[in-house]
Amino acid sequence: MTGIKDLAQHLGVSIGTVSRALNNKIDVNQETRERVLKAAQELGYVPNQAGRSLRQGNTGLIGFILETDPEGMMQGDLFFIRVFDGMQSVLSEYGLNLMVMMAPSSEQSDEYLKKIVARGLADALVLSATRRVDQRIDFLSDQNVPFVTLGRSQTDRGQPWLDLDFEGVVVHAIDRLTAQGHKRIALVVPEKDLNYRTVMQTVYKKQLEKYGLTFDPSLVIEINPGENSGVALASLVLEMENRPTAVILSDQLHPFGLYRGLADRGLVPGRDLAMLGVSARLASVLSPNLTHYRFKLFDLGQRVAHALIHRLPHLTQEADPPVVRECVPFTFVEGESG
């Protein structure tokens, strides 16, 4: 592992000169710069991150805190990797690297976050799975750590966020379903107190009112994410005393389970139960086609990255960097399921 010292010795110049040459400082002779760059290339020199971090106080790493579900039912399996890809595509332009950290399910996730921050591992963080009231946001604000959340929260510390347009989804879904004559429309949300659950519930109620439909609490179904829950959902819905004729699903994997559950009973999505899905990757393999709302995840990742860049003053010479707060729009994909 060649260090800057080796490089300097090899060239017969001082380490200061080498450092300046490599970091594009102005006050260095053109010829020496070229010699240094060439030698660095040849010897495969790459600056040690620890030394660099220690000196300049930043690491060039962006941490994404990924929380896994204790039961291993990651709602995000099909979601996050594409987002990561989008993020990295932007971060690369700024010489930054995305570092995904697995918040160990055993440890209290807030504790984990504290350690990551205090160790000074990352220059900025991305939080996901935002709760309605989210202590992590308070913590990061207090610590002055630049961060962006993927998902909104009622905990508002002026932080930038990006989110999916859940309101738009519910509005569109209920417009559509009522137009088709549905009067009993169920909404399926996660058990966990994630912020989008509240968002969807709120809009759901409002939309029902708009159409003069009475709100029935039993039609808001709280259930874990994952395909197996989707299967369970079938019995749950079909065995209700006054069962819904349509279901709005928020988890990506629920449609798969529900299709299966219906199939086992000889029922057909769309004909026997209307069904709308959200952000369902793999949706194209369902038959009959799933009517659903699609989000561009790669694009979302890119936006998250940009929002983050605005929070890193040493990278942008922006006088007054904007606080990005956006819901990314959906594409409605018409299918036969509802």
User: Considering CB distances under 5 to 8 angstroms, the limit depending on partner class, which of its own copies, DNA, none binds residue 115?
Assistant: its own copies
Among 6-14, 233-241, 246-254, 326-334, which window interacts with DNA (CB under 7 A)?
A: 6-14
Strand-pairing partners, residue 135, are: none
Site for DNA in 128-167 (CB under 7 A): none
Residue 14 or 49 having the CB closest to its own copies: 49
Q: Which does 16 bind (CB under 5 to 8 A by kind): its own copies, DNA, none?
A: DNA
CB 274, min distance to DNA, A: 58
Q: Could you write out the DSSP letters of every residue in 221-240? A: EE---SHHHHHHHHHHHHTS
Query: Looking at 8-16, 75-83, 98-106, 176-184, which segment touches DNA (CB under 7 A)?
Result: 8-16
Closer CB to DNA, residue 27 or residue 93?
27
Comparing CB distances to DNA, the nearer of 12 and 72 is: 12
Q: How many residues does the chain have?
A: 338
Work out which of 9, 10, 14, 139 binds DNA, going by CB under 7 A.
14
C-alpha distances out from residue 193 to 109, 199, 201, 254, Å = 15, 11, 12, 18
As measured in angstroms, the least distance from the Cβ of 46 to its own copies is: 3
**Residues from 50 through 79 that contact DNA (CB under 7 A):** 50-52, 54-56
Strands 331-333 and 291-294, bridge-based pairing: antiparallel
Residue (of 121, 128, 86, 120) closest to 103 by Cα position: 128
The reply to whether 224 sits near DNA by the rule CB under 7 A is no
- What tokens appear for 290 in the block? 């799933």
Q: Does 313 bind DNA (CB under 7 A)?
A: no
Q: Is the Cβ of residue 133 or residue 282 nearer to its own copies in the bound state?
A: 282
Q: What is the C-alpha to C-alpha distance for residues 141 and 125, in angstroms, rounded to an integer?
A: 11
Q: Which does 22 bind (CB under 5 to 8 A by kind): its own copies, DNA, none?
A: DNA
- List the beta strands (DSSP E) in the chain: 61-67, 97-103, 124-127, 147-150, 161-164, 185-189, 220-222, 246-249, 274-278, 291-294, 325-328, 331-333
